[in-house]
């Protein structure tokens, strides 16, 4: 294979890697998670040359008080008002637990509970200005912007892309503050994936290497953050890892070209861990079923096909926890009937990996 063919292969493989994260990683309804928005005091500090992670893409950050695009509740609204009153403010790390910040936390949490994500972010911005040294607030900023991006219609690619850029930016800043911020790694990972599904950023081979590094290190750190039974940072990392390593092909030469290759057994292990940590999540269970079917088809293992179909059926009996659960349940029915689609399954659609492999080998 010549250099041109290798470049084509690399580009196609990157396309697969970046298409896998279609959303739903951290969006349990009713979770009163605080967020933030603008770095108002020293915008260069968190992106210092000493930061061990790659700087995010340049993005136009709006000034304090400037509306970004939309603050409609969207799919992240809802939840029990009691969650705000019962939030453990004393457990916030470092100076974030200061009584003087309690009012901002309450306002931000309540606005986010109601799905008013940008308005909530303004409160957290003030907290970041007061306490810039805690990564806890930064990853919540990233999550908030990611959710606002998800709220935008699919055809508003500029707006969606801007929010996903902001999500990556804030996750990277959190990593600059704390290189071991596992939640920052998660949200940078999913923001990069969403940038690709929104804009088609398929030529950045380094993105896949970075995503693999973020994912592996985040899981290794074993974060303990938990919003509720359906939203744990560790479970979200396992879920993201399962999708990533299932969809990325296991072609031997892929690691040599882009530094990453798939691992179906690792995918299955991560999916089992996600379901064990959060059995109420429909998407986790569908992912487990997909991983089982994928291995069952590829390795001719009937017992995994049987278990995969059982898992998919059980996912359809769960109560909805996310606004995307109805879609995931429809996908579960399709997968149970057509297990050969499992290896290339994502919420955005089904990727025919075998056909893609033939195409890239032929230089197409």
d(CA 341, CA 139) in angstroms, rounded, equals: 34
* Model pLDDT, residue 201: 52
pTM of the full predicted structure? Answer: 0.80
Residue 287 · residue 241 · CB < 8 Å = no
**Per residue of the chain (364 residues), what is the pLDDT tens digit?**
444 444 445 555 555 555 554 445 655 443 333 333 333 333 333 333 333 334 444 444 444 333 333 444 445 555 667 778 888 999 999 999 999 999 998 998 888 888 888 888 888 888 999 999 999 999 988 998 898 888 888 788 888 899 999 999 999 999 999 999 999 999 999 998 888 777 765 445 567 888 899 999 999 999 999 988 888 999 999 999 999 899 887 777 767 777 788 899 999 999 999 999 999 999 999 999 999 999 999 999 999 999 999 999 999 999 998 878 999 999 999 999 999 999 988 776 666 555 544 444 444 4
Looking at residue 285, its pLDDT comes to: 97
Query: Among 203, 199, 193, which Cα is nearest to 239's?
Result: 193
Cβ proximity of 131 and 168 under 8 Å: no
pLDDT number for residue 275: 98
Beta pairing, strands 226-228 & 349-350: unpaired
Q: Which residues contact 133 (CB under 8 A, 6 or more apart)?
A: 94, 95, 177
277 vs 238: CA distance, rounded Å: 10
- Retrieve residue 347's tokens: 């919420």
pLDDT at 111: 85
Contacts of 40 (CB under 8 A, 6+ apart): 64, 125, 126, 128, 129
Q: What is the pLDDT of residue 16?
A: 52
Report the pLDDT value the prediction gives residue 318, as an integer from 0 to 100: 95
């Amino acid at each position: 294979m010549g250099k041109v063919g290798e470049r084509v292969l690399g580009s196609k493989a990157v396309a697969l890697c970046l298409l896998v994260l279609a959303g739903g990683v951290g969006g349990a309804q009713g979770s009163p998670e605080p967020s933030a928005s603008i770095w108002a005091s020293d915008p260069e500090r968190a992106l210092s040359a000493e930061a061990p992670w790659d700087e995010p893409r340049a993005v136009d950050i709006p000034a304090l008080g400037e509306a970004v695009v939309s603050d409609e509740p969207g799919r992240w609204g809802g939840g029990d008002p009691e969650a705000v009153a019962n939030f453990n403010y004393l457990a916030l790390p470092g100076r974030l637990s200061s009584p003087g910040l309690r009012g901002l936390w309450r306002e931000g949490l309540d606005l986010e509970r109601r799905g008013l994500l940008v308005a909530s972010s303004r409160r957290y911005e003030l907290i970041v200005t007061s306490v810039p040294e805690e990564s806890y607030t930064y990853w919540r900023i990233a999550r908030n912007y990611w959710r606002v991006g998800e709220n935008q219609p699919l055809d508003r690619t500029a707006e969606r892309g801007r929010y996903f850029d902001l999500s990556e930016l804030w996750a990277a800043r959190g990593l600059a503050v704390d290189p071991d911020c596992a939640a920052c790694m998660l949200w940078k990972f999913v923001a990069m994936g969403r940038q690709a599904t929104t804009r088609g950023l398929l030529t950045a081979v380094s993105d896949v290497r970075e995503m693999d590094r973020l994912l592996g290190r985040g899981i290794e750190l074993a974060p303990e953050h938990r919003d509720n039974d359906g939203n744990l940072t560790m479970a979200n990392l396992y879920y993201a890892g399962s999708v990533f390593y299932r969809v990325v092909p296991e072609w031997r030469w892929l690691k040599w070209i882009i530094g990453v290759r798939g691992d179906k057994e690792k995918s299955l292990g991560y999916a089992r861990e996600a379901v064990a940590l959060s059995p109420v999540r429909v998407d986790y269970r569908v992912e487990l079923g997909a991983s089982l079917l994928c291995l069952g088809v590829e390795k001719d293992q009937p017992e995994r096909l049987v278990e995969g179909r059982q898992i998919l059926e059980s996912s359809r009996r769960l109560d909805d926890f996310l606004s995307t659960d109805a879609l995931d349940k429809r996908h579960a029915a399709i997968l149970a009937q057509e297990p050969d689609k499992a290896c290339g399954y994502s919420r955005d659609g089904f990727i025919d990996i075998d056909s893609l492999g033939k195409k890239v080998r032929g230089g197409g």
